[in-house]
Structure 1
């Protein structure tokens, strides 16, 4: 994996990196995420997110400790902020136990911009689905 950008080590709540082998961008969220952390992550990641060649995105919440954190809101704001074409496919890995809150996710914006979004409970399943998006 070749890392393009990450949050400073003293604030390890989100790491954004480009996976050159699989040709997708991955955001990995860790720990307790509050709105300030999410905003700092957006600002720190804008350079990577504005890369126009990114067509696949893996948004991994599997290591989030909050009772609820909607990183899809972060993702929507991040792409709106970069003024670039959003990815064609987004695999969103729910945080553990998050499947009870699927109805709370605002996924309508992905359909309106032509992005296919799938929700997953495991990173492996999300990665398998993204590999299929290449075809």
Structure 2
């Protein structure tokens, strides 16, 4: 994995891509993400999200600069917008210092849809867990 790039607040982005090697979808959030940018990211990612059923999802907030940003809310709206089945396993990498706000995460949609959600402090831990989902975890 390449080292994290230092980004300024002027460079917000959300890159959504399918990782064919690992067979999961990955959203990587960078910079200062405001609600308007998150909504624009949903619209620009609908094509990727509505492709074949995705059973594993890596949601990486490790490069978010906001004091707090809940991209799980973005995921809920994204899957609702595509009318596709939510992934069986979601690995959510918290933004640095975000662990103090775990109770603020919007996790109702994962429970209601039968999605297994795990929170991680590092991308590597999240990737390891998702690889375990391929090997038959309860996801």
TM-score, length of structure 2 as denominator length: 0.87
Q: Which moved more, 1:90-99 or 1:50-59?
A: 50-59
> SS of 1:17's equivalent?
strand
Asked if 2 retains the 8 angstrom alpha-carbon contact of 1:13 and 1:31, the reply is yes
RMSD: 4.2
Gap change, CA 1:3 and 1:89, over 3 Å in 2? farther
- What displacement does 1:10 show? 9.8
> SS of 1:28's equivalent?
strand
Q: Which moved more, 1:8-17 or 1:22-31?
A: 8-17
Structure 1 stretches (4+) deviating beyond 2 angstroms?
A: 1-12
Q: Which runs of 5+ in 1 are unaligned?
A: none
> What are the Cα deviations for residues 50-107 of structure 1, in whole angstroms up to 9, with x where unaligned?
1233110000000000000000000000000000011000000000000000011121
> SS of 1:62's equivalent?
strand
Asked if 1 retains the 8 angstrom alpha-carbon contact of 2:10 and 2:32, the reply is no
Asked if 1 retains the 8 angstrom alpha-carbon contact of 2:11 and 2:30, the reply is no
Gap change, CA 1:9 and 1:19, over 3 Å in 2? farther
The aligned length equals 134
Gap change, CA 1:23 and 1:43, over 3 Å in 2? same
> SS of 1:133's equivalent?
helix
In structure 2, C-alpha distance between the alignment counterparts of 1:95 and 1:59, rounded to whole Å: 10
> SS of 2:16's equivalent?
strand
Asked if 2 retains the 8 angstrom alpha-carbon contact of 1:28 and 1:61, the reply is yes
TM-score, length of structure 1 as denominator length: 0.90
Asked if 2 retains the 8 angstrom alpha-carbon contact of 1:6 and 1:16, the reply is no
